Structure 1
């Protein structure tokens, strides 16, 4: 029997490939020939037109190329990775009823990996290959437990979409852990309410703690990297989203991916609502494993659903998929996915990205270096979205030094914070009406520099400490306190320093956490949050000594005096809904068209009735209106506005709305400031990248959603050369205000 991992020491690249050159429009397939469990793996190669081919496509992890096993390909000994040999052996056993052999497309066997031209052309077809196959087989691994008898074939067990099985393993069989994991998903998928299912309770909790622990350890090994690295591969995105029929196989046990998705949706829905008590009985480490596994499954299912909707709405013709995601969005979303070849971090996503109608799309080309692929991907992103959004956030994470400053390192991992911040950057338009980023305004030169149109508007005179991450709230509070102190000498021409400070530390955006973070620009209606945050947030540097714009300490109170004005401003925002044209606060009187309209209609006009009317338009749907109206009952008809606002303040505090808004503001601050520092120029203040230094220039670039921090490299060059450090948030300059003041001060510069 040939099962030793050291039966062959040479990698597949060192052995002559037995396949003949491919004809245009054709692919190779293998026929996995029948054989007993212990017999060597034998495969035949044959060529077929992709348009008429019938086959299953294999999705798996290559594994190490240094340790290989031997199979026979076209009757020649051919080394393959241990993972591939195990997949072929188990699939042969699983499909042993197919007496003519199982027809498969396997990248490592069907593509001559040493032929760069063929490899390039075939990778360009992979989207179509996975779309047109009969079924995608995802092979996760051989077995979860220790080594089994190599001479005894494993049990073949099939879960269908309804969850029923053909067979089940004995209690001490080597496949029992795999079976129990898949059975857990089966029971979750077929149970209306997990908390009321005695079968699920027995499956999850087991007869004793040891049995329960073994189940969740098996789940962790099957669903989490590094034990099962398939879940973190970049090629997975394309391989399992292009075809509806996808089966997950572990050893010889299989389950349709739809069953896993259904189970994950059931768990995520019920564990946070009706069945929360049931799932709360799980130990925290086990609950975390289940949460993580279901999140991974739903992440893939979301992509599959989007792809299916697009096929239904626009048809199967790939050319009609005009609504696909931009390449930039895909690169950002899947930066944490892994690839053995860094170029595949780009190539694996190209077939899923939208196509341009006016220029050739980027295609895989393995003759290019990794750095050149990343450069071309950056240009593709610029010309696709016609902005310089690729410079926002992405430039700050580089794990290599062979890239120009304007090229992100797409092989570096991302983070949720960076993804959210990229969405926030799209809310700005710091350079409107100056043109778009296209082939005319953004040009790559023969020397590798990038020529763009830009205008300098300030120089950094001072930088403050970087905001570091972590779970320690005091880090944020101490840094925010230093930033506030640093701003005391800044002259904002009579404008409120505290309001400027609040907008800077949240970058003018609100980030509401949830299953999907909701980002939006800050509006005047957020002023009450600014007013209440200092005294209710644990991140606030004003907890002990709330500071005014003058920097003088004030007595600690529940709400600062600015709160009254903030609530008044909030009511002004409601006036569009209540059709009020003029307001008079403070003396208990309100003169407006509303008052006149009510007078003409014979209604009694008093402040209390107007309070109730305004309350109906309050932007807080969770506010307990009934309790609020009862509080109003103690007010005189001519009660002054201050009492109304005090009544509102008490009710907001009672309903904890102030705390909720403060927590959203906390989240917004973390998203905006993490990995950034406060920068102070001659005229402007804001947030800049962690690498920003005194003397760096603040620039607007044509097509840029945000201002950018540039560093002079060669001012005497023609055009002058700069290194791009990163994007920035500049207070009172994110909506074209600075651009309007620049006049003719625009010129061509080079980014090196």
Structure 2
């Protein structure tokens, strides 16, 4: 049987051959999988109707399919400009292609109410694409490129899987070779115009685009909070809470920023410009976005703007990624996937395929539209496991996503599933090993095709079993902050604040109850006082905590402190609200409010983190977020994933630093086999503070388990 880490083994085409049992060819495996996959392949629900309609016409209008190294250009007339959009297609060798513009846009919703003429045939397109083409042909760059355009939905025959695979594999080169890439942000509104002007003015005033050296390094130190507010006041920049910021926020909420494909379209471009309506937008919107996390004033202003949401984080992340790209920095696929968890794509497979050209450890031939989502996810997981060997900490990732029917439990569902909010412990900072201890090697790890899926075979050592489970989730009535101005003077925000802290109080009350329950369990199995074990491990990182004398009173606010602090928060919020009566808004008024808000934030922080520590200690967040509280058969207290149950087993997996929860599957495989489902990782109090768990007497004999 071929082993997972066999020399030369990889996934898809060149891919699964080295990972399949007894040298079985990938085509045999995919044929087996595809029979069940037929009904679960992407249905293109979020806009692919455009691709279906356009590709049907492209297929019939194209006289020949594309040869390797060729791509299809659309040539629009630059002489006769009428209300009708007409173009002809031509096959070109990418290496000898004429000047052309590549369009970067968001496909949007299913709306094919518009049409254009392609090779004298009517092709239905979305309103978004129609407006982009109409606006683009009035630009000077359109005429300079002789009307030559490349547009993914029109230039690729979406119904020809072989062509689509070939073209997407070379898409990075297509954008690299373009004379310019144009990012379409939609039609210009009055609000957009005000927003762009504010962004441009602030960027120029703070010189946000002039703080890079010749290598693209950002050389401006992040200014202090007070200095940025002083600078803003001196330079006449709109104060925090000014209506101008509410025109800025929607610009970064445009759908273009959320699309996963635009990342490579921006990064691979030799020249890039934004187009909104018929107005060309320069790089200043990227410089502004990159500095949202660096300049406290900008961060605060955007945070409080009505309608400001996840879009600004996507824009900031993209702008920072661009800075790294210019410096030649490249990330592996895992890092790219983590950065784009919230990004969107019409086809779920594209959440992965769109990142291949951006990472440094996956080759373009991984992209293959012959395979369904299930196969792509399994293939990627196998590649990741082999590349990280002998470290098996990647098994912590799947719990961060919901499950997809038919996808093994050891496979992260990066696409097609909703994130669960459970943070993987092993991939962050926690470890059951002493600092510097080498991971035990993982031997005889393999993938095997069983029942139309792949099982992961690996050796583990059982350490314990879950006996008690308590749900730590507190149902809340906290309203959404969407479209709420984050201004304490807002009635909506004030109502949200009160609801939020009522929920916080209930959450903290539950955690105090859990602490009391823990203390009532008696002597902890490690022999240390249970109060110290529970609170120390709940708060402190195993490698960074330097004091061994941490006790409960140093780590959590008492009930009395909470009861005193909560009214102070509401009182201070009321004081800030009443400050509105001081007079009309001014920069000085805004700064005075900000001083009050800083005091308010201090109290907020006390409640949110509910801990205090000596000034020389390094504190960490609790691993308990989104997890359940559990007690094991041997008397240990643990934080476990929300889907864990009584009877689930805790194991140490060869090559892993944290315990994993496995659920026995008695109806799978042969009765004598140890068949399990991976539930997630566990934080066990008293065992995650630098103890070498592998050398303890907790572990049973090593055994081979099959993870379905």
Q: TM-score, normalised by structure 2?
A: 0.69
Q: 1:332 and 2:338 equivalent?
A: yes
In structure 2, C-alpha distance between the alignment counterparts of 1:365 and 1:663, rounded to whole Å: 53
Cα 1:9–1:721, aligned 2, differ >3 Å: closer, same or farther?
Answer: closer
CA offset digits 1:706-750 (Å, max 9, x no partner): 211111102853532101111111234345633224778212211
CA offset digits 1:140-167 (Å, max 9, x no partner): 11233xxxxxxxxxxxxxxxxxxxxxxx
Q: 1:113 and 2:158 equivalent?
A: yes
Q: 1:703 and 2:655 equivalent?
A: yes
Correspondence for 2:414 among 410, 414, 423: 410
Correspondence for 1:83 among 128, 138, 146: 128
In structure 2, C-alpha distance between the alignment counterparts of 1:130 and 1:664, rounded to whole Å: 49
CA offset digits 1:623-662 (Å, max 9, x no partner): xxxxxxxxxxxxxxxxxxxxxxxxxxxxxx9xxx985769
CA offset digits 1:253-295 (Å, max 9, x no partner): 1112x311333456655553xx99xx87x9x852773x86654
Cα 1:663–1:408, aligned 2, differ >3 Å: closer, same or farther?
Answer: farther
Partner of 1:32: 76
In structure 2, C-alpha distance between the alignment counterparts of 1:47 and 1:69, rounded to whole Å: 25
CA offset digits 1:435-487 (Å, max 9, x no partner): 5569x524243442211111111111222223458742223323323322332
| 1:439-588 pair list within 5 angstroms | 440-447=444-451, 448-468=454-474, 471=500, 472-487=503-518, 488-493=520-525, 494-506=527-539, 508-509=540-541, 521-525=543-547, 527-528=549-550, 531-535=553-557
Contiguous gaps of at least 5 residues in structure 1: 1-7, 145-175, 312-323, 510-519, 544-652
Using the TM superposition, name which of 15-24 and 727-736 deviates more: 727-736
Q: 1:370 and 2:323 equivalent?
A: no
CA RMSD of aligned residues (A): 3.9
CA offset digits 1:479-504 (Å, max 9, x no partner): 32332233222432531111210134
In structure 2, C-alpha distance between the alignment counterparts of 1:419 and 1:128, rounded to whole Å: 36
CA offset digits 1:659-710 (Å, max 9, x no partner): 57699999712x5433333332315332111111111111111222321111
Correspondence for 1:263 among 283, 288, 298: 288
CA offset digits 1:3-57 (Å, max 9, x no partner): xxxxx99822443522321121122222232266642111222222223433222
Using the TM superposition, name which of 450-459 and 123-132 deviates more: 123-132
Q: CA deviation at 1:370?
A: 1.2
Partner of 1:196: 234
Cα 1:184–1:660, aligned 2, differ >3 Å: closer, same or farther?
Answer: farther
Q: 1:180 and 2:202 equivalent?
A: no
Correspondence for 1:297 among 315, 323, 328: 315
Partner of 2:359: 353
3-state DSSP class of the match of 1:454?
strand
Partner of 2:599: none
Whether contact under 8 Å (1:188, 1:267) holds in the other structure is no
Cα 1:380–1:481, aligned 2, differ >3 Å: closer, same or farther?
Answer: same
Partner of 1:133: 178
Cα 1:100–1:477, aligned 2, differ >3 Å: closer, same or farther?
Answer: closer
Partner of 1:124: 169
Whether contact under 8 Å (1:140, 1:230) holds in the other structure is yes
Cα 1:392–1:730, aligned 2, differ >3 Å: closer, same or farther?
Answer: same
Q: 1:243 and 2:272 equivalent?
A: no
Q: CA deviation at 1:249?
A: 1.0
Q: TM-score, normalised by structure 1?
A: 0.66
Whether contact under 8 Å (1:383, 1:437) holds in the other structure is no
Partner of 2:383: 380
Partner of 1:306: 324
3-state DSSP class of the match of 1:381?
helix
Whether contact under 8 Å (1:350, 1:362) holds in the other structure is no
In structure 1, C-alpha distance between the alignment counterparts of 2:549 and 2:177, rounded to whole Å: 55
In structure 1, C-alpha distance between the alignment counterparts of 2:611 and 2:538, rounded to whole Å: 19
Q: 1:684 and 2:636 equivalent?
A: yes
CA offset digits 1:292-348 (Å, max 9, x no partner): 66544321111111111117xxxxxxxxxxxx3222222222111111111111111
Using the TM superposition, name which of 344-353 and 127-136 deviates more: 127-136
CA offset digits 1:150-200 (Å, max 9, x no partner): xxxxxxxxxxxxxxxxxxxxxxxxxx44332222111111103443334x5
In structure 1, C-alpha distance between the alignment counterparts of 2:88 and 2:517, rounded to whole Å: 73
Whether contact under 8 Å (2:258, 2:314) holds in the other structure is no
Greater RCO (CA < 8 Å, at least 6 residues apart): 2
Cα 1:501–1:660, aligned 2, differ >3 Å: closer, same or farther?
Answer: closer
Whether contact under 8 Å (1:231, 1:296) holds in the other structure is yes
Cα 1:429–1:9, aligned 2, differ >3 Å: closer, same or farther?
Answer: closer
In structure 1, C-alpha distance between the alignment counterparts of 2:103 and 2:455, rounded to whole Å: 42
In structure 2, C-alpha distance between the alignment counterparts of 1:217 and 1:57, rounded to whole Å: 31
In structure 2, C-alpha distance between the alignment counterparts of 1:348 and 1:450, rounded to whole Å: 27
Cα 1:65–1:532, aligned 2, differ >3 Å: closer, same or farther?
Answer: closer
Q: CA deviation at 1:68?
A: 3.6
